[in-house]
C-alpha cells in the first residue's frame, strides 16, 4: 500500500506541469546554447545532487556547456569568506557570464544562499529558472524568468519531480537534435 500511494504522489506531481512550461525551459536553454553560453545549475543537498547529474547529462548526452557548484572547496571557500548565505552569489560573480542561464533548485524555495544567488543572477543579467516546492508563496518561486513549482511538502516527492522534469528537458533537447540531423 505504501508504494502504491508513494508512486501515485510522484505521478500526480509530475503530471501537474504544463508541457508548455517544459518547452519554455527548453527554449531558454537552447537560446543560450545558440549564443555559445553555458548552463549553471545550483542546489543544496539532494538538489545539489540533481544539479550534478543534470550537468553531466547536459555535457555528455546533450553536448551543452554546463557547470554546477558542488565542489566542496568552492563552497567552503566562499561560505567561509562571505557567509553561507552568500556563497552562491559569489560563485556566480566568478563563473557566470552575461547571457548564461542559471537553474536554481530548492525544494523549499527558502534557502538564503539560493535566494541571494537568484538576486545576484538578476543583477548580472543572467537568465534564471527556478524549481521549488513546499509553499505556493515561497520566495524563490517568483524570482526566475521561468518558475516551476511542485505542489508537495515532501522532500523526496519534490526532488524526484524536479529531477524528472529536468531530465525530460535534456532528453527533449537530444531528441530535437536527432531530428535536425536527419
Give the C-alpha separation, 76 to 83, whole Å.
9
| pLDDT over 60 at 182, yes or no | no
Q: Report the distance separating Cα 58 and Cα 37, nearest Å.
A: 13
Chain segment 30-67, per-residue pLDDT in tens: 999 999 999 999 999 999 999 999 999 999 999 999 99
Phi, psi of 40 (to 5 degrees): -115, 130
Mean pLDDT of the chain: 96
Cell for 22? 517544459
* Phi and psi angles of residue 106, each rounded to the nearest 5 degrees, phi first: -150, 120
Rounded mean pLDDT, 18-28:
96
111 in Cβ contact with 44 (< 8 Å): yes
At the top level of CATH, which class does the domain 2-181 belong to? Answer: alpha beta
pLDDT band at 97 (very low <50, low <70, confident <90, very high): very high
Could you tell me where the DSSP H helices lie in 35-154? Answer: 46-56, 72-82, 87-95, 112-123
* pLDDT over 70 percentage in the chain: 98
Measure CA 45 to chain center: 13
pLDDT interval class at 9 (50, 70, 90): very high
Average pLDDT value for residue range 141-165: 97
Residue 181 has pLDDT above 80, yes or no: no
Kindly state the average pLDDT of the residues 158-181.
91
Amino acid at each position: 500500500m505504501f508504494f502504491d500511494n508513494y508512486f501515485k504522489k510522484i505521478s500526480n506531481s509530475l503530471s501537474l506541469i504544463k508541457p508548455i512550461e517544459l518547452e519554455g525551459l527548453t527554449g531558454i536553454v537552447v537560446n543560450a546554447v545558440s549564443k555559445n553560453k553555458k548552463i549553471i545549475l545550483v542546489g543544496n543537498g539532494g538538489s545539489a545532487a540533481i544539479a550534478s547529474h543534470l550537468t553531466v547529462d547536459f555535457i555528455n548526452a546533450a553536448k551543452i556547456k554546463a557547470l554546477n557548484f558542488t565542489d566542496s572547496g568552492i563552497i567552503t571557500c566562499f561560505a567561509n569568506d562571505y557567509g553561507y548565505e552568500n556563497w552562491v552569489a559569489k560563485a556566480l560573480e566568478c563563473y557566470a557570464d552575461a547571457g548564461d542561464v542559471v537553474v536554481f533548485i530548492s525544494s523549499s524555495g527558502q534557502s538564503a544562499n539560493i535566494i541571494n544567488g537568484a538576486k545576484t543572477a538578476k543583477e548580472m543579467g543572467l537568465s534564471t529558472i527556478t524549481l521549488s516546492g513546499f509553499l505556493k508563496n515561497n520566495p524563490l518561486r517568483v524570482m526566475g524568468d521561468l518558475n516551476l513549482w511542485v505542489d508537495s511538502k515532501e522532500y523526496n516527492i519534490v526532488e524526484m519531480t524536479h529531477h524528472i522534469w529536468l531530465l525530460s528537458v535534456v532528453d527533449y533537447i537530444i531528441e530535437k537534435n536527432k531530428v535536425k540531423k536527419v
